[in-house]
Chain A
Amino acid sequence: MVLSATTDGGQRSIRRNGSFGYVVPALLLIAFFFIIPVLMLLMRSVLEPTPGLQNYQELLGSTTYLRVFLNTFTVAGLVTVVAVVIGFPVAWLLAIMPDKWSRLVMAIIVLSMWTNLLARTYAWMVLLQRTGVVNKMLISLGIIDKPLALVNNLVGVTIGMTYIMLPFVILPLIGILKSIDPAILRAAALCGANKRQCFTRVLLPLSLPGIASGALMVFVMSLGYYVTPALLGGTSNMMLAELVAQFVQSLVNWGMGGAAALVLLLVTMVLYAIQLKFLNPNRVR
């Protein structure tokens, strides 16, 4: 009786097909509403309005769109560099500081990360406007005498995006820095390395894979961002994701929209492939 429970039909059939049945509902969802629509969109880029590569020629050949690409890569690059330069020291301190304090800092980081994206972007729209707090503060400190244009340009986008991306640099780096054995640095110091050498020759090289991996992730995420650039950048400083949306929403040009989407998709996939192949800190071996 007891044994028959493990060998009854239902149980055996599950064992036989290796539990594949369990993943079927999720697989159907992904196939019908992810793989198929994305492929269909990409098809339209070479089929509409007429079959051929003219959409790609136009996208990659005109200076208007070239500027969009330039904006996208400049902002993503700037955001990545600033976020890493600021984020690394913070992660460093968080990795070694007493728990009592690091918990408070972590709570602040997580709170900002979980706060609604639109609420955070709205905050920066208000803070950076001509009569906003940032301009007022800079004037009262005597740094500038006329308000600076900080929104509706790439400066605003960069500030807003750095704000959003900082947690994505800091959080993974904490783990990487915690995994470095402090004894290695003590050994370096004992062998006569000064502080600067300890940092540049030991700590930095050991954390470099983590930094590179975090930086690449932030770069890729920034490339495809839509909401923050659209609200802080204004219409004349478009980025790639906005271009995709604009082709579809306002211009109803599915061919060009599909082409721009493919370029964005391709860049993202290539960078992720690099990440997985070379930089994954959790990689076996």
Chain B
Amino acid sequence: MLLDFDKLGGLKPFLIGLTVLVCLFLILPIVFIAALSFGSSQWLIFPPPSWTFKWYQMLFSDPRWLWSALTSLKIAAIVTVLSVILGFLAALGLNRGTFAGREALRALFLTPMILPVVVLAVALYALFLQLGLAGTTVGFIIAHLLIALPFSIISIGNALEGFDKSIEDAAILCGASPWEARLRVTVPAVSHGIFAAAIFSFLASWDEVVLAIFMASPTLQTLPVKIWATLRQDLTPVIAAASTILIAFTILLMVAAALFRKGRKA
């Protein structure tokens, strides 16, 4: 009866009340930031004395913000492509392979995801200083690829689990070359996994802060680095405006992902 929603009795209002509070706790800070980005108070007084677009104007008139957003976009796009390609190959190898140590290898591929990212950041920073990759786009891409790849391997690996290999063999029997079969039969069949891998990889890079702080240089900054550097100085409402745009972007991606899933079911 504790697991029957209709028979919870006196517990029901308690559980519902707590869940509502938790929902408010989770959603209000986000709403609050969005509201403040339109508020006129420099000191972030809430509720704002009046409403304004000036923080957005300041944001868009400062080329450094725009430039850092473009840098983020460029790095995230390249990371996404590489992560999906490497992830697809690795997932294929782990899924189809008969070689020893596959489980250990899978675990190894996923470790960058669970390790404290600051350790990875510091270690890569030391290596990149020696290789001359510190503060370069290549260094940035390698760092972000490391944490995006596990998402690709998991998403595409799961999709491959549900794909019957004999369909690919059938294509080969019908005269396709192995790679032709893979690209024209297997890839479309696991496209939902590839789509998920792309979204997660993109977000892993786009939102990443810690590696980015160590990979950045005064001339190469992603959006999170720019926000971080600004935040360390003061709490200006311009950050609220930047955050609101990021939040809107996240919601857009979530809706796209949900629509994609719905489209697949139908």
Name A123's contact: one of B29, B99, B109 (CB within 8 Å): B29
- For the complex with contacts A89-B19, A126-B36, A185-B2, 15 further pairs of A-B residues with Cβ separation under 8 Å are A19-B97, A26-B86, A30-B109, A96-B8, A107-B254, A111-B250, A112-B26, A115-B30, A136-B46, A167-B26, A185-B4, A226-B210, A231-B232, A241-B118, A272-B114
Is A47's beta carbon under 8 Å from chain B?
no
Question: How far apart sit A37 and B96, CA to CA, in the bound complex (Å)?
Answer: 30
Name B153's contact: one of A26, A220, A265 (CB within 8 Å): A26
Name B18's contact: one of A40, A89, A227 (CB within 8 Å): A89
Chain A's nearest CB lies how many Å from the CB of B219?
A: 18
- A interface secondary structure, majority: helix
Question: How far apart sit A86 and B214, CA to CA, in the bound complex (Å)?
Answer: 35
Is B135's beta carbon under 8 Å from chain A?
no
Question: How far apart sit A206 and B265, CA to CA, in the bound complex (Å)?
Answer: 33
Interchain pairs with CB closer than 8 A, number: 271
Q: Is the CB of B119 within 8 A of A38?
A: yes
Q: Is the CB of B122 within 8 A of A185?
A: no
Residues of A contacting B254 with CB < 8 Å?
107, 110-111, 114
Is B57's beta carbon under 8 Å from chain A?
no
Q: Which size class do A's interface residues fall under?
A: 35 or more
Chain A's nearest CB lies how many Å from the CB of B101?
A: 10
Interface residues of A (CB under 8 A from B): 2, 5-6, 10-11, 14, 17-23, 25-27, 29-30, 33-34, 36-38, 40-41, 44, 86-87, 89-90, 92-98, 105, 107-112, 114-127, 129, 131-133, 136, 163, 166-167, 177, 180, 182, 185-186, 189, 195, 198-199, 202-203, 220, 223-227, 231, 241, 244-245, 248-249, 254, 257, 261, 264-265, 268, 272
Chain A's nearest CB lies how many Å from the CB of B215?
A: 12
Is B120's beta carbon under 8 Å from chain A?
yes
Question: How far apart sit A116 and B174, CA to CA, in the bound complex (Å)?
Answer: 48
Residues of A contacting B27 with CB < 8 Å?
108, 111-112
Question: How far apart sit A248 and B93, CA to CA, in the bound complex (Å)?
Answer: 38
Residues of B contacting A127 with CB < 8 Å?
29, 32
Q: Is the CB of A244 within 8 A of B26?
A: no
Q: Is the CB of A257 within 8 A of B122?
A: yes
Determine the residue in chain A with the shortest Cβ distance to B171: A5
